């Protein structure tokens, strides 16, 4: 899953970017409102963390422009603790949630997970598809109750497919959601990770639809091949 982090305080931005990457997100970080508006309007993010006090263009204006332009990406705004008016204005402008500074990192991560799940119509924190169960809180996968170890990139691919279980996901779309905007992956990178996942998942769990993409579906008895 890919997140846009918009924060102009350098230390906090580095801490948040590192924390998000450690739990499996691909993260693009920008430090001013104009870049945020431009990038958030063209890149396919799964969620956006948006500070309201930004240089060049304030966060509230950025959010309003996105919503006016039809950008539906879930947005978590960061506000000063005593700025209740910012919280109200942010929600009215189209924010999906808010968090007051200072905050606990675990709360931000929990709210972000919830936003992404809701945007895909998922309620529970554990994503399930047949014998597969992926706990979004711990990023742990089990197959028929047995833990399965995944690399960071395999986890990103599977997490996106599990959020879209039963739907066809194109190769280009999958690539866009597992890499940051500046990454230049090889043309066959997605195929490599899909092949690795197939060796760890039940037979038939990831279906290839020629010319269309991939679909995760319930399959097999739950025993990894």
Looking at residue 156, which CATH number applies to its domain? 1.10.10.10
Q: Look at residue 22 and tell me if it is in a domain.
A: yes
What pLDDT score does 167 carry?
95
Same domain assignment for residues 153 and 207:
yes
Same domain assignment for residues 115 and 139:
no
Same domain assignment for residues 13 and 53:
yes
Instruction: Report the run of H or E that residue 129 belongs to, with start and end.
Output: strand 126-129
What pLDDT score does 221 carry?
40
For the chain, the domain total comes to 2
Same domain assignment for residues 75 and 33:
yes
Q: Report the alpha-carbon distance of residue 165 to residue 158 in Å, rounded.
A: 10
The predicted model gives 58-87 an average pLDDT of 91
Same domain assignment for residues 142 and 161:
yes
DSSP code for 201: S
Q: Look at residue 97 and tell me if it is in a domain.
A: yes
Domain region containing 192:
126-216
Same domain assignment for residues 135 and 178:
yes
Last residue of a domain, one of 95, 119, 143: 119
Q: Look at residue 211 and tell me if it is in a domain.
A: yes
Same domain assignment for residues 107 and 145:
no
The predicted model gives 3-25 an average pLDDT of 95
Q: Look at residue 221 and tell me if it is in a domain.
A: no
Q: Look at residue 224 and tell me if it is in a domain.
A: no
Same domain assignment for residues 87 and 131:
no
Within the chain, strands assigned E span 2-6, 26-30, 47-51, 75-80, 97-101, 126-129, 132-135, 140-143, 146-148, 168-169, 206-209, 213-216
What pLDDT score does 154 carry?
93
Same domain assignment for residues 14 and 111:
yes
- Token code pair at residue 135: 């706990």
Looking at residue 73, which CATH number applies to its domain? 3.40.50.2300
In 94-182, where does DSSP find H-type helix?
105-119, 152-163, 171-178
Q: Report the alpha-carbon distance of residue 169 to residue 186 in Å, rounded.
A: 18
Query: What is the model's pTM?
Result: 0.84
Q: Look at residue 223 and tell me if it is in a domain.
A: no
Res. 115 pLDDT band, cuts 50 70 90: very high
DSSP code for 164: T
Q: Look at residue 146 and tell me if it is in a domain.
A: yes
Determine the length of the chain. 225
Q: Is the pLDDT of residue 224 over 50?
A: no
């Amino acid at each position: 899953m890919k997140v846009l982090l918009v924060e102009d305080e350098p230390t906090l931005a580095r801490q948040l970017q590192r924390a998000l990457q450690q739990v499996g997100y691909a993260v693009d970080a920008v430090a001013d409102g104009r870049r945020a508006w431009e990038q958030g309007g063209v890149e396919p993010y799964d969620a956006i963390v948006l500070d309201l006090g930004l240089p060049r263009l304030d966060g509230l204006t950025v959010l309003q422009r996105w919503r006016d332009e039809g950008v539906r990406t879930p947005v978590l705004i960061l506000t000063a603790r005593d700025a209740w008016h910012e919280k109200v204005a942010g929600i009215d402008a189209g924010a999906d949630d808010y968090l007051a500074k200072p905050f606990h990192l675990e709360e931000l991560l929990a709210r972000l997970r919830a936003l992404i799940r809701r945007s895909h119509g998922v309620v529970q924190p554990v994503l399930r598809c047949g014998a597969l169960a992926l706990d979004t809180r711990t990023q742990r996968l089990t197959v028929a109750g047995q833990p399965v170890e995944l690399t960071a990139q395999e986890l990103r691919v599977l997490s996106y497919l599990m959020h879209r279980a039963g739907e066809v996901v194109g190769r280009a779309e999958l690539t866009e959601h597992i890499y940051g905007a500046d990454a230049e992956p090889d043309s066959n990178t997605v195929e490599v990770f899909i092949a690795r996942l197939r060796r760890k998942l039940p037979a038939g769990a990831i279906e290839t639809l020629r010319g269309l993409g991939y679909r995760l579906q319930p399959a097999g008895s739950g025993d990894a091949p």
